[in-house]
Amino acid sequence: MKKLFLSALFFAMSFLFITAVAQDTNEWTKKKAKKWFKKKEWLGGLELKPHKTINVQEFARQYHANKAYWDKAFAYLKNTDLNNIPKGKYPIDGDNVFASVTADSSKDFDKTNWESHRKYIDIQYVINGEEKIGVYPVSDAAVTKEYDEKKDVANYSADGKLYSATPETFFVFFPTDAHRPNITPGDNKVVKKIVIKVRYTE
């Protein structure tokens, strides 16, 4: 009788474990991710608008895999005097999260490139000025330069849509997102910009 009880208990626990793993694997459905995203609690009080191109489901997965990284990134955007910060590179959390601030002229379209990264996710935010940024799925793009692990970049040929990047909105690019930043909307004016790199989790 005792063996029968233990066997039943074992199978019951195994079932619960398998069910829990399955739920965890499928946790971030599009519907659930969208609901979580819309609450914007993850912004930590940062008053900026996430761009409509952000892959909400992948963002939910990455955020919950490395919540501390993302919280530090958004806190940095919120608490830093971005208008007066000089150009340069800034550590936020060692090699896990760091920022690069630039202030350069935007470029003609043919002087820019489609790119993607594997080790890091980009948070791109225009502090002052305006530029165009292209977005296109890596899966549909043609590779023109193979991935360089040292530089964490690959280049592509693509026909993606261009969007306006202004101080009201930030973009997030995952390894599945080919993006083409720094494109001039006209006159090649100077754009001050911050790119925060957040380590990607498989």
For the chain, what is the total number of helices (H) and then of strands (E)? 4, 12
Q: Can you give the pLDDT at residue 23?
A: 41
* pLDDT for the residue numbered 91: 98
Specify the pLDDT at position 3: 53
pLDDT of residue 2: 52
pLDDT score for 12: 46
Q: Do residues 122 and 165 make contact, with C-beta atoms less than 8 angstroms apart?
A: no
H helices of the chain, where? 2-25, 30-39, 56-65, 67-79
- Which CATH architecture describes the domain 29-199? Sandwich (2.60)
- Mutual angle of helices 56-65 and 30-39, in 10-degree steps: 70
Rg (CA), the chain: 21
- Per-residue confidence (pLDDT) for residue 5, from 0 to 100: 47
Both tokens of 199, joined, read 């380590």
Which residues are CB-contacts of 30 (< 8 A; sequence separation ≥ 6)? 56, 57
Ordered by start, the domain boundaries in the chain are 29-199
Contact 54, 34 (CB under 8 A): no
pLDDT (tens, 9 = 90+) of the chain, 202 residues, equals 555 544 544 444 544 444 443 344 458 999 999 999 999 999 999 999 999 999 999 999 999 999 999 999 999 999 999 999 999 999 999 999 999 999 999 999 999 999 999 999 999 999 999 999 999 999 999 999 999 999 999 999 999 999 999 999 999 999 999 999 999 999 999 999 999 999 999 9
| Half-sphere CA count of 45, side-chain side, radius 13 A | 5
Q: Pairing state of beta strands 114-116 and 131-137?
A: unpaired
CA nearest 46: which of 123, 159, 113? Answer: 123
User: How far, in Å, CA of 48 to CA of 193, rounded?
Assistant: 14
- What is the rounded distance in angstroms from the CA atom of residue 124 to the CA atom of residue 100? 10
pTM of the predicted structure, to 2 decimals: 0.86
